[in-house]
Structure 1
Amino acid sequence: MAQERYEIREKLGQGGLGTVHAAWDKNLNREVAIKRIRRSQDDDKLEDEATRQMTQETGALAALQHPQIVTIYDVGNDEEGPFVVMELLKGETIDAIVEKAPLTTEDFREFALQVQEGLIAAQDLGLVHRDLKPSNVMVSWLPSGKFQVKLVDFGLAKFAPEPEEQTVDQNDSVYGSIFFMAPEQFERGPLDARTDMYAIGCVYYYALTGMTPFQGDTGPQVMAAHLQHRVVALAERRPDVPSWLADWIMWHINRMPDDRPANAREALRNFIELDIPSTQAMSTGPTEPAPEAPKRPRLIIPGAAPSEPQAAQPAPAPAPAAQPAPAPAPAAQPVPVVPTPPAPAAQPAPAPAPTPAPAAEERPEPVQTQTAPQPLSPPAGAPPSVHTTGQQAPAASAETAPNAPPPAPAVVPAAPTPAPAPAPAPAPAPAPAPAAVPIPAAPAPAAVVPTAKVASPATSTVQLAGRPAPASGSTMAAQPPAGATPPASGIQTPQAKQGMGNGAKVAIASVLGVFVIGLGIMLVQMMSGNNQAEVYNALVAEAAKPETTEIAVDSEKLNILLNSTRAGSNKSRETVYKALSIAKATDGTDIDSRIAEFATTETLPVDIRVSLLSRVLRKRANPAIKPYLLDFARKTDDEQAAAAALTAVIEVGGEEEFDDFLDVIQFSPSAAVRRAAEKATAEVIKDSDKKEQFGSTLATASKNVNDDNRRTMIRLMGYTGSKSAEEVITAALEGDDNLDKLAAIEALKNWADESMFETLMEFLEEQTDEQLRPKAFDAGYQFLMSDDRELDDLDAEDYWKMLARQAKTEREQNTIIGGLAKNETSDWALAVIEYFADESESDRVIDRAEKALSHIRERQRVKGDN
């Protein structure tokens, strides 16, 4: 990569074949994301395949300039391999959002419309994503407060003008997240746009319920749920969702591809035709099939028997008076779906009878989700949204409800029309007019919020109350001014000129004084603002110089720099971060405390808060700020910000704060923050020489906390490798609580040395539990594959052979073969792989073993030549 252009900031994540970093484009002064292939140390063939897939991904994405798909900026190749520069998205993935609460129907409508638009653009180019899941759907916020959806990570996508066969990765497992994969992906069948329709249908189901449609405790169970189509209808999970919408989503996840939408364009067309939210009934759960509208998707209802074509039935009679509520039905269980034959074309139905109003006792069914749906809103610290209702695109016009009174028409006075002038007649003597009441000044008219179907008002002349229009033929001079007393007939009395009272003079003087003072304050503020702009520009210009290593600031200049980070369009924010990182006080100001206080107490966007904590304060590395950061981590519910604060604590000497980290784990009300604290604590333990002491502390703490925190302590004990931790782990493996056992397995995966590997293998050998056994095997494999672990050749041989003896399934055997082919060139590795080639009952294992043998022998030859 051209180092003079891109500055790597931080690693954002790693998945599939690529690693993603946040970076700064120095030429264009903008943040970008850089995706780079994760290199294989020895396997050139694997690296070539990764390069080919990334190049293919780049071509696919570069052709897609669409607001709902991540944008590619640049592509290149350097000494570290090929890389792709793309738009850096700031927001949340849909799984992070739904973890808090499922979407409301209104927000889901806008969400689905945007997703469908993005899929249409991709499918028009023949592109199949193949890995649609909640973590690949990003929601960000526009300046107005409206959310925008983008599809990301086309790392598995390929151009597919014809259906293509499913491929496998280096561990012989299919790509994609198992909860959102279509059945044909498990069967390694042909893939096309209908595969993506199934996956996005699962995402839609998850977005509305917070639960995946096909569930299971293990991978095989989830796979069986997909293949046998065991699913609870969405209408039962969310009875408040319109029935047409529930059916539309379930249409996507039909078992057979031919029963799904052919593509996103067909699905969107159907969505728009059915979307009449003001007249659609709410779903009340699965019902008997009724004659369908011509454009209604063909839905296969879970648990329904094959339906027969039925003639149209007359409209039902009005419902009788409400009866006592029946006993609640048992909770819905997933059942295999029986495919129904296509329904006949719907016949024209008679006009429906008016629907009687529901009885007062009726209540909508409760939503069957873990958390009540909540509307989406911009992140904390963002400007308030100008969108005051659910952020959906314009829906069909609302219709007047039956039996509702028509809206009262707005009365607008018409412009007066002069009548024909009558014949001249002698004017009668004017009658004395009563004294008029003084008319108060009319207040400004209140703003009226229009409702649905507001008609454009006719142009009219609006007249103030109390001022009738002049009679036809009259003039203003012909009418006495309001409030005047008419003089007696024939007597001329000149008006006496009245002087201004003292009270009025004082009032005017006061107003003028206030005006002069306000004008002076405004001028001072303008001058101060100009001065602050000059100071800011000078600070940024100095910080932008490569040779600058220190910026002198006083309290006022520090405030200017801190407040400048708030500006949403501040293109110099990166330079401001540098200035804050190297600022040095000239007046005794405690810069570190001020920055820490600002970052932890002010209302800020998440990305700015995280940057101040994890970059500015981390670089300044002042131990005095630890109390600010720890207090913030205890109180916040933002996982990103908490993780940034705890990371900064570690950088400035977190070993002394071990007990405080445990305090966050035990007492933070946020599960996300507790996870961040667990990760930070693990990093402290790994880098410390006090492992035995920390192990004893964790073992003691695990006896006096709740179940969740006890399992956290058990997981952390693995990093200590202490004697006290060994006792706790052994007891957990021998106990009856499977969740404790899972925590113990995780601890053994991260054990500080090799002393407990045999214990893990003994546990694995005795296991028959479908959940525990795969976890134990994977823990052993990850223990041996860890980059942080250095084993001598004899130990490596013993441990790999122990694990190989426990490899019973095809997946496990392929995992061993892949790991050895990547890491080893010893003769004992060849012997282990030859065993699988000779003894395995799986053709796939035998084929993979033979290829691995050839690969290792070639590497041995090259190594010998060198």
Structure 2
Amino acid sequence: MSDERYEIRGKIGQGGVGAVYRAYDTQLRREVAIKRVLADEGYEDSDVATRNLLKEATALSSVQHPHICTVYDAGMDKEGPYVVMELINGKTLDEMVERGTLTYDDFREVAIQSQEAMIAAQDLDLVHRDLKPSNVMVCWLPSGRFQVKLVDFGLAKFSAKPSLQTIDHGDAVFGSIFFMAPEQFERTPLDRRTDMYSLGAMYYYSLAGTYPFNGDSAPQVMASHLQNSVQPLHELRPDLPQWVCDWVMWHIARDMNDRPESARVALEKYLADEAAATQGGAAASLRTGPQLIIPATSAQANKPASAVDSKTSPQSISPPGGNKTLTSSQPVRPASAVTGSTAVQPARPQVTPNANVSTAPTNTAPQTTPEEEIENTQDAPAAPPTSQGLSGSQKKMLIGGLSGAVAILVAVLVVQSSSGKEAEEFNDLVGQVSDLTAKDLPTTEKQFQLLVDSLSESDIKNRNAIFRRLYLAKAVGNYSPDAILLELLRANTLTGEDKQNLVICIGKRGEPEAMKELLQFAVDNPDEPSARFALEAASKNASESDFGTFINILSETTDSTINQAAERALKKIISNSRRKNTLADQLIGAFDASLDSNYKLTMIRLLGTTGSDAALNKLTSNLKSQQSQERIAAATAFADWPNDEPFNILIDAYEEEDNSSVKERILKSATELISADRLHDPNEIESYWVTLSGYANTDSQKSRIITEAVRANQAWSVIILNSYLDSSHSKRIRDLAGRGLKKLKK
């Protein structure tokens, strides 16, 4: 590194194997952050540290996005390798949470901006693997709005295929264990869903002020992750909309297949649910099924449902000096650079922050443009929550105790009210779940009944282990475990979380006849909280004979989560049916006969999956409805069409539409229709994309088209990208198109 070019002005921070310095670039006359590998911190292989640092530079330089730090330079000099990055003057997300949990409006911005950043990274098959609040910087623009930037891709890996967690530095797992996904502890292959889990844990922390998976030692924290012992977010933040809490919990599902497939899917789901909530409807969830979420046993699980520590009550993110000009609701936030989904800002619920806490951050706002703002790359671990944090010595114990901890994850239970022999047998049965790889555990009828009977004893604390043992039970002898569980459900002796987990346990066991009973349970108890999980389980084995049942559920409950589960099940049934025309006729009949607007909107959305002539005519008619909600629902339905047939219908509707929100949805559906993996007309696809590019008039829409053109990698992709290089488009779009062309050439 040239001493003449970079003037070191002080150390910013230091991590396990690297230090970050504030410096001044004398050539470009700007402050920068310089990261170096430490040579004297006990790192066994300096060559590995060097490679990791340069790997970080390569990873970051490949991602150009306003919500990800920018790498300016990298190289080697006499002191070793270095990376020159932008320097951000701001606060880390955990520092913001220390003074108060996020309000709905501020969380919305954090969620959208961080998801957009991960979309850009995932488009390059980049897995961060170390997402946590201390790696999220919050800085302020001159306008007073705040901007989120993801930092420290030091553990990032380009991986189109799943990869294993890297183990280095004394066999310690890098990253914060409070935000690591279960597969990172198990050292099984990682992919983008690993990052989605960490994002979810980070979101939970920013809203609740406590870690979702907590404990007093490394084994306890790991057990909490591996057993998915987490208190539902809505119990800690009842002021938030239910769909927001569900969206966060979706990210931290134990099973990778139950999480958002990608940041793009997660962001589109968030915006769809927000729009549906604004319109009074129920957006279809993308979650693939229920999880066995068992009540947490750590201290954090026992926190009163609606209690949020006064020190971490919801606080707005304010700029320096506390003059919050645009950050409260972020009304003029730029459109999404990748998804094209945030140009239209739906109205959202207002959450009133606690008026008793008004502390504002004291850092200085940078007087620079977004492109010139620079990153304060920090390696420090996440700060502990105010209400349930750990001391520095405890943190060291957590990291140091990772190796070999899995063997002691589950404590042995004691049933004081039982005989000594029964207590010993019970403890032995439940203790078997300490083996986290265990499955199909042999269980006699007497043993199974012993486990079931224990649920009626109020002094049994570790009930999550009991439900897990019931789930893993394999019958020894002539009896049906599922029949016993269903009898317990019919008896209706369990309440609250126990009843919910009983339903989930039956569903996870997956016995076909039991699924029929779960469906009937949902029909008979449509407003039961457990009905949602019963529907999720039943939908996995739903057949066409269940079509009418799910339709009736939609007409009998106003619970949005139940409606979402039923709508997902109906989509699956329609997709697998060979009688789509008949099902389309039934949906149209249900639409015409109903007076309930939300029910009618659901029928419209479902029609797109059928792909029938009758559905085509009905949806075309709905696009001309006097009700804007019906026009949006019809456009949404066409995005699910099995081929390109509705494209010209959507374009005609776009030309005739006056409502900007509807126009946005129509153009988005047209883009989804021709970019999805479905039957396309090879003779028309190029003209479709050229048409779309001509109608795109916002940077958000243009960015989405550019992204899809690069993804398609066809001859027409070059035509589309070249069309965005002239001066009639913004610099941002021209740069994005230019980068796309370079990627296509590679």
Residue 98 of structure 1: which of 239, 247, 253 is its match?
Answer: 239
- 1:681 alignment counterpart: 570
- Deviation track 1:82-133 (CA, whole Å, cap 9, x = no partner) reads 857873462333597325699xxxxxxxxxxxxxxxxxxxxxxxxxxxxxx9
Residue 642 of structure 2: which of 741, 746, 752 is its match?
Answer: 752
- 2:744 alignment counterpart: 856
Deviation at residue 769 of structure 1 after TM alignment: 1.6
Which residue identity lines up with residue 469 of structure 2 in the other structure?
Answer: V
In structure 2, the CA distance between the partners of 1:585 and 1:41, relative to structure 1 (3 Å rule), is farther
Residue 494 of structure 2: which of 603, 610, 618 is its match?
Answer: 603
Contact 1:215 1:221 in 2 (8 A): no
- How far, CA to CA, are the matches of 2:326 and 2:727 in structure 1? 41
- 1:728 alignment counterpart: 618
Instruction: Find the residue that maps to 1:760 and give its secondary structure.
Output: helix
1:397-412 matches, within 5 Å, as: none
- How far, CA to CA, are the matches of 2:593 and 2:565 in structure 1? 21
- How far, CA to CA, are the matches of 1:96 and 1:636 in structure 2? 24
Contact 2:693 2:702 in 1 (8 A): yes
1:815 aligns with 2:704: yes
- Deviation track 1:619-639 (CA, whole Å, cap 9, x = no partner) reads 342225413433335525466
Could you say what the CA RMSD is over the residues aligned between the two structures, in angstroms? 5.6
Contact 2:448 2:470 in 1 (8 A): no
Contact 1:642 1:676 in 2 (8 A): no
Instruction: Find the residue that maps to 2:626 and give its secondary structure.
Output: coil
- How far, CA to CA, are the matches of 1:71 and 1:149 in structure 2? 24
- 1:551 alignment counterpart: 442
Give the gaps of 5 or more residues in structure 1: 1-15, 18-36, 103-132, 151-178, 183-192, 203-211, 259-391, 394-524, 859-866
Instruction: Find the residue that maps to 2:724 and give its secondary structure.
Output: helix
Residue 46 of structure 1: which of 105, 124, 128 is its match?
Answer: 124
Residue 146 of structure 1: which of 290, 296, 304 is its match?
Answer: 304
Contact 2:504 2:534 in 1 (8 A): yes
- Deviation track 1:167-223 (CA, whole Å, cap 9, x = no partner) reads xxxxxxxxxxxx9888xxxxxxxxxx7599969985xxxxxxxxx69699x999999
- How far, CA to CA, are the matches of 1:854 and 1:101 in structure 2? 44
Contact 1:539 1:551 in 2 (8 A): no
In structure 2, the CA distance between the partners of 1:145 and 1:851, relative to structure 1 (3 Å rule), is closer
Which residue identity lines up with residue 736 of structure 2 in the other structure?
Answer: R
Which residue identity lines up with residue 146 of structure 1 in the other structure?
Answer: P
Deviation at residue 830 of structure 1 after TM alignment: 0.6
- How far, CA to CA, are the matches of 2:550 and 2:489 in structure 1? 20
Instruction: Find the residue that maps to 2:239 and give its secondary structure.
Output: helix
Contact 1:633 1:645 in 2 (8 A): no
- Deviation track 1:19-57 (CA, whole Å, cap 9, x = no partner) reads xxxxxxxxxxxxxxxxxx999999998334856978837
In structure 2, the CA distance between the partners of 1:51 and 1:728, relative to structure 1 (3 Å rule), is same
Which residue identity lines up with residue 711 of structure 2 in the other structure?
Answer: K
Deviation at residue 563 of structure 1 after TM alignment: 4.3
Q: How many aligned residue pairs are there?
A: 460
Deviation at residue 576 of structure 1 after TM alignment: 0.5
Which residue identity lines up with residue 519 of structure 2 in the other structure?
Answer: L
1:56 aligns with 2:130: no
Deviation at residue 762 of structure 1 after TM alignment: 1.8
Residue 843 of structure 1: which of 715, 731, 746 is its match?
Answer: 731
1:586-735 matches, within 5 Å, as: 586=478, 590-599=480-489, 601-604=492-495, 606=497, 609=499, 612-614=502-504, 616-632=506-522, 635-637=525-527, 641-705=530-594, 706-735=596-625
In structure 2, the CA distance between the partners of 1:96 and 1:830, relative to structure 1 (3 Å rule), is farther
Contact 1:633 1:673 in 2 (8 A): no
Which residue identity lines up with residue 717 of structure 2 in the other structure?
Answer: A
Which residue identity lines up with residue 569 of structure 1 in the other structure?
Answer: N
Which residue identity lines up with residue 857 of structure 1 in the other structure?
Answer: K
- Deviation track 1:765-797 (CA, whole Å, cap 9, x = no partner) reads 33232111111111122233334x253644543
Deviation at residue 570 of structure 1 after TM alignment: 4.9
- How far, CA to CA, are the matches of 2:320 and 2:574 in structure 1? 48
- How far, CA to CA, are the matches of 2:741 and 2:130 in structure 1? 24
- Deviation track 1:429-475 (CA, whole Å, cap 9, x = no partner) reads xxxxxxxxxxxxxxxxxxxxxxxxxxxxxxxxxxxxxxxxxxxxxxx
- How far, CA to CA, are the matches of 2:622 and 2:417 in structure 1? 70
- Deviation track 1:201-254 (CA, whole Å, cap 9, x = no partner) reads 85xxxxxxxxx69699x999999999xxx999x9xx98xx99x649x49x89xx
Contact 1:592 1:625 in 2 (8 A): no
Instruction: Find the residue that maps to 1:98 and give its secondary structure.
Output: coil
Instruction: Find the residue that maps to 2:419 and give its secondary structure.
Output: helix
- How far, CA to CA, are the matches of 1:41 and 1:794 in structure 2? 30
Which residue identity lines up with residue 231 of structure 2 in the other structure?
Answer: G
In structure 2, the CA distance between the partners of 1:194 and 1:659, relative to structure 1 (3 Å rule), is farther
- How far, CA to CA, are the matches of 1:779 and 1:657 in structure 2? 29
Answer 1 or 2: higher relative contact order, Cα 8 Å, separation at least 6. 2
Deviation at residue 854 of structure 1 after TM alignment: 1.3
Contact 1:733 1:763 in 2 (8 A): yes
- How far, CA to CA, are the matches of 1:710 and 1:677 in structure 2? 14
- 2:292 alignment counterpart: none
- How far, CA to CA, are the matches of 1:538 and 1:748 in structure 2? 55
- 2:143 alignment counterpart: none
Contact 2:724 2:733 in 1 (8 A): yes
1:579 aligns with 2:579: no
- Deviation track 1:569-620 (CA, whole Å, cap 9, x = no partner) reads 257447504434x33563xx553233134357343554x6555434543434
In structure 2, the CA distance between the partners of 1:527 and 1:81, relative to structure 1 (3 Å rule), is closer
Instruction: Find the residue that maps to 1:652 and give its secondary structure.
Output: coil
- How far, CA to CA, are the matches of 1:538 and 1:76 in structure 2? 24
In structure 2, the CA distance between the partners of 1:801 and 1:734, relative to structure 1 (3 Å rule), is same
- How far, CA to CA, are the matches of 1:687 and 1:199 in structure 2? 52
In structure 2, the CA distance between the partners of 1:597 and 1:710, relative to structure 1 (3 Å rule), is farther
Residue 829 of structure 1: which of 717, 720, 739 is its match?
Answer: 717
Instruction: Find the residue that maps to 2:658 and give its secondary structure.
Output: coil
Contact 2:611 2:642 in 1 (8 A): yes
Instruction: Find the residue that maps to 2:570 and give its secondary structure.
Output: helix
Contact 2:522 2:532 in 1 (8 A): no
Which residue identity lines up with residue 737 of structure 1 in the other structure?
Answer: Q
State which structure, 1 or 2, has the greater radius of gyration over its C-alpha atoms: 1
Q: Which moves more between the two structures, 687-696 or 847-856?
A: 687-696
In structure 2, the CA distance between the partners of 1:538 and 1:655, relative to structure 1 (3 Å rule), is farther
- How far, CA to CA, are the matches of 1:700 and 1:766 in structure 2? 28
- 1:345 alignment counterpart: none
1:213-252 matches, within 5 Å, as: 245=356, 248=358
- 1:783 alignment counterpart: 673
In structure 2, the CA distance between the partners of 1:794 and 1:668, relative to structure 1 (3 Å rule), is same
Which residue identity lines up with residue 841 of structure 1 in the other structure?
Answer: H
In structure 2, the CA distance between the partners of 1:558 and 1:42, relative to structure 1 (3 Å rule), is same
- 2:140 alignment counterpart: none
- How far, CA to CA, are the matches of 2:420 and 2:326 in structure 1? 53
